[in-house]
Chains A and B, each alone.
Chain A
């Protein structure tokens, strides 16, 4: 009976090593490069209009927010967010399925469209960076308001 045991061992070892394979799919390719960041402003008709700001890279949501709050610049588009010429800092927190933006604004300084701007910009960066399109955005204002808790989607990014 003894000769059988090394044979078994040999069989096991030979058959169970890491086997080479052919090329197999590994999932979605990572994404996230972009020539610049897309900000959402409002055009003359009062609709959201994306504007590519060629920063050279996609950047973070926070950077995008800063640029958004700074204003549309000379592009001819308007913003419905009260601009603040000082460097606005938006704190971005991500939770599963939700992006929380702590904007240094109060609810009175933004129109609903302005909120959409914020939401779309943030979501756009998120999506372009590889994130899910179904993520919601929470805009949290400085002063407590029920608007802070709403989970919003972007009308143009579906």
Chain B
């Protein structure tokens, strides 16, 4: 049901996933290099990008950075190793989630749908917290009047936290609510998401006023 751009260099893997994801109802376009992927991104404007990190030419991290720089389209990275280097690097390059190869297409599909769901949410009117305006209907955020562009993940995180200001969310809870991972989810996703959100809405990310860390427990939305 979504327009997906799959960037994967191995032809069999690419074709396999194209077949599988199509069976799940998605419209899958493919690219076999980073450059082709970026070109395809500009021309076809997919809803989500599934990006393999091991690419010839420009490497996956650089591609991710460029995709992030180009817009808010969500990215799910495919990593063969699943180690810190890939996961943290990918998240810092701007990915919203990751899946470890070999991944069952059902699992990948679940991730895709979860990420797409982040863009939606129950409307709750406009919430104002000091200089921060959150419009839950149009899903726009502005800080001191200037609009802030957030990826669906960042937006979903902000909405979840700000819906209950002062309430402490554990990483587990955020993983379930925002990323829809199960109890074995990777808490690095949460830390990375918080870091990115802070970079966009906090005046000084080092001493945040909105997204605050509660040591030993998790995060909460600051008093507004």
| Contact present between A and B (CB < 8 A) | no
B-to-A contact residues, CB < 8 Å: none
